[in-house]
Structure 1
């Protein structure tokens, strides 16, 4: 069995949408060592979780990119709800932090070295990191569903270290080059945008759809923009936090404060439900509003079970599905931001240096206006 930290060389990801990134097999036969064009330190700082609410800044060796890998100087990392959950509780379901773990998976930076088999021209390019590297050879990968790979190595998912560090080695095919028009923070937040792109694809959002989004957290906010970019004629976003509802309204969505008016009284019959709250009771109530032949995509992670109104599902022939991460989404996400159809800068509510990583993880419980804290490891 391959050791958890060993580099892999994915073979291929089967067929998928037109913007599927090719997963190359690096030749590696004529390039004996990595290519470097600037000085790289021997060690780096990393924010390491040792247990619930035990985060320490440590010195670690800078990784050496293996065959087919690039070394990225990490310049921005978004904090995700999963990072906060690991920080507070040391686990998410079956994923338990049993050894020191570097958090963070929403990352972007600049390529500073190329491993064997990687073109030296990639050095100096700004990239957004897709945080999951699949095996490339299993049935799911070959069918194009690499997000369902059983041997996935996903950043900041135990035991795989994440990106709250100064340098990160990643497979070249999952370091997506971004145009200069994107800020480094936007490049990092292409990861949560990819969640929304994948969900809208699963829901087959199309021109004319009326879309209900429950939960105005970061995913709900980008899902609202993505649904509109996909052609939805009306998007309704629900939440109980006025500040987040205001952000949703600024995207062009209609908003509903369900602490004042229950969703059942909103007289809104969606053709698509994107459930982003992760609250089981909210999911059940929202499904009851979906119109005939509607599509329901469960995105938010909260409870293990959801009260499913089976009669509504059967009588209205609803399609109900889950969504897990994403596949083949980065080119679309980049295009949406580059075109201005989706704005990610409004999500960034707080900015920190690496030494303040603990503050970045705790700010959501301290500041009602917090939406997305971004860590800058080079600061």
Structure 2
């Protein structure tokens, strides 16, 4: 089968033939129908992100995956069947840390699909049965594939880490794959007003289409004053871009007790040059990664009941064989993409 493989040393990505994997105990094999291309995949390829728990010199990328169960391994719990439509959680518990051994949340060393073990940029992918999420028949595979990260990560940040309250102001810095969904989800939970900040005019226009009340250019030297005039101050600001300058700007826009939630990933240092207002106003800086238990199921349920629509999130479809081209399109922001989808 074809698979998009990343070799770590030297760092090299290529799509090539590999053996079709067989499911082990408690696993299923999924025929991949759609796999998302995420900025995290770009960072893995360029070396700014590196797997923490990978056993081996290379890995198949892809943590946003949907398809059809193709084969069941031994000891798969009852209820799963060949031909069933599923999306795959973007990671799984390590099974070894103290929290896993004691069956407590959260796992202390979560393994990420397509990072720490083989993912879904392939014709077939293996998945532990407990990472499967059943799909309704009317949810397209391309939309289902992006839920386990592009949608569930901002959902977890909004409803979990930030604890966003209805009727309170929230800001989103970076309206790309994560930020566009953050705007949509903030609208769903009742945040008001919703402020979007992005240097690109098409991204700001998209934010307004997705439900933002106000959109600012991050390069505007008067941004902080304008934002305070519109909102008073933000309860919470989300860095969806993983850019150091964003964090410095966003923290200035917080009110008393406000929270800056770091969702976008970057290896760059976190700096706040003037920390006196941070302390005086009791602002908080919180890290966030992934989503919580049950979040993907909740979002699929909301889609099942037509509370959420991700059709606008699919910016294009690319054959798996051309995965490297899809990565380049994302790097260049060609066509202002939210999510490009690989199809085997």
TM-score by length of 1: 0.81
Cα gap change, 1:327 to 1:234, in 2 (>3 Å): same
Cα gap change, 1:170 to 1:94, in 2 (>3 Å): closer
Q: Indicate the residue corresponding to 1:370 in structure 2.
A: 337
Gaps of 5+ in 2: none
**Offset of 1:233 from its aligned partner?**
2.1
CA distance in 2, matches of 1:120, 1:202: 33
Q: Indicate the residue corresponding to 1:12 in structure 2.
A: none
Q: 162, 166, 171: which one pairs with 2:128?
A: 171
2:111 pairs with 1:153 = yes
Gaps of 5+ in 1: 1-43
Alignment of 1:12-51 (within 5 A): 44-50=1-7
Q: What secondary structure does 2:142 align onto?
A: helix
CA distance in 1, matches of 2:11, 2:313: 25
CA distance in 2, matches of 1:117, 1:365: 42
Q: Indicate the residue corresponding to 2:287 in structure 1.
A: 322
Query: Does 259-268 or 203-212 show the bigger shift?
Result: 259-268
Alignment of 1:323-338 (within 5 A): 323-328=288-293, 329-338=295-304
Q: Indicate the residue corresponding to 2:145 in structure 1.
A: 188
Q: What secondary structure does 2:237 align onto?
A: strand
**Offset of 1:346 from its aligned partner?**
1.5
Conservation of the 8 A alpha-carbon contact between 2:42 and 2:331 = no
Conservation of the 8 A alpha-carbon contact between 1:212 and 1:236 = yes
Conservation of the 8 A alpha-carbon contact between 2:118 and 2:125 = no
Cα gap change, 1:178 to 1:260, in 2 (>3 Å): same
2:97 pairs with 1:138 = yes
Q: What secondary structure does 1:350 align onto?
A: strand
Cα gap change, 1:236 to 1:336, in 2 (>3 Å): farther
CA distance in 1, matches of 2:331, 2:260: 30
Q: Indicate the residue corresponding to 1:348 in structure 2.
A: 314
Conservation of the 8 A alpha-carbon contact between 1:272 and 1:295 = yes
Query: Does 235-244 or 320-329 show the bigger shift?
Result: 320-329
Cα gap change, 1:53 to 1:348, in 2 (>3 Å): farther
Q: Indicate the residue corresponding to 1:220 in structure 2.
A: 179
CA distance in 1, matches of 2:47, 2:118: 14
Q: 270, 273, 283: which one pairs with 2:247?
A: 283
Q: Indicate the residue corresponding to 1:204 in structure 2.
A: 163
CA distance in 1, matches of 2:21, 2:71: 11
CA distance in 2, matches of 1:161, 1:69: 13
Q: What secondary structure does 2:137 align onto?
A: coil
Q: Indicate the residue corresponding to 1:8 in structure 2.
A: none
Query: Does 65-74 or 55-64 show the bigger shift?
Result: 55-64
TM-score by length of 2: 0.88
Query: Does 300-309 or 94-103 show the bigger shift?
Result: 94-103
Cα gap change, 1:310 to 1:261, in 2 (>3 Å): closer
Q: Indicate the residue corresponding to 1:14 in structure 2.
A: none
* Runs of 4+ with deviation above 6 angstroms: none
**Offset of 1:341 from its aligned partner?**
3.6
**Offset of 1:303 from its aligned partner?**
4.4
Conservation of the 8 A alpha-carbon contact between 2:323 and 2:342 = yes
Aligned positions, number: 329
Q: 304, 326, 344: which one pairs with 1:360?
A: 326
Conservation of the 8 A alpha-carbon contact between 2:176 and 2:337 = no
Alignment of 1:44-59 (within 5 A): 44-50=1-7, 54-59=12-17
Q: Indicate the residue corresponding to 1:21 in structure 2.
A: none
2:298 pairs with 1:298 = no
2:207 pairs with 1:242 = no
CA distance in 1, matches of 2:194, 2:308: 14
Q: What secondary structure does 1:236 align onto?
A: strand
Conservation of the 8 A alpha-carbon contact between 1:281 and 1:306 = no
Cα gap change, 1:215 to 1:126, in 2 (>3 Å): same
CA distance in 2, matches of 1:375, 1:335: 24
